[in-house]
């Protein structure tokens, strides 16, 4: 919230302002033991939608990516029996974020985009 608030004057002055938030696919339907995480990420989802609505008359777009499990060393350590081949490669998540940050995404705002690999 604070980062968006601080950046908004600059984004509004830009012909192609972009906000890309990171939510979580796991917040769409919470799993057992994930209540606090899902609740926090649901807040990111609603903030994305609200800001997109508030800024729809400007050149600023607001979207979020909703990754599932990202293939990181920490996740591999925490889930040693899982199959990381099904997880989201960081480069694949970055590609979606780069699209949303680009001028090509000008028609997309308020979107919550799942990036789930094969999970």
Q: Which stretches of 17-101 are assigned E, i.e. beta strand?
A: 18-22, 61-67
Provide the token pair at 106. 């000008």
CB atoms near residue 63 (< 10 Å): 25
Q: Is 37 an annotated catalytic residue? A: yes
Structure tokens at 29: 């339907």
Q: Which helix (H) or strand (E) holds 64?
A: strand 61-67
At 95, list the tokens: 């590609």
Pick the catalytic residue: 34, 37, 58, 92?
A: 37
Give Cα 116 to chain centroid, integer Å: 12
φ, ψ at 41 (rounded to 5°): -70, -30
Q: Which residues are catalytic?
A: 37
């Amino acid at each position: 919230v604070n980062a968006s608030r601080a950046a908004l004057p600059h984004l509004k002055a830009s012909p192609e302002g972009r906000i890309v938030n990171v939510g979580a696919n796991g917040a769409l339907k919470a799993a057992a033991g994930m209540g606090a995480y899902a609740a926090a990420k649901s807040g990111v989802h609603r903030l994305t939608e609200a800001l997109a609505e508030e800024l729809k008359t400007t050149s600023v777009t607001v979207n979020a990516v909703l990754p599932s499990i990202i293939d990181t060393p920490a996740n591999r350590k925490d889930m040693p029996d899982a199959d990381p081949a099904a997880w989201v490669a960081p480069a694949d998540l970055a590609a979606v974020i780069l699209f949303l940050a680009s001028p090509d995404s000008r028609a997309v705002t308020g979107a919550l985009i799942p990036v789930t690999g094969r999970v």
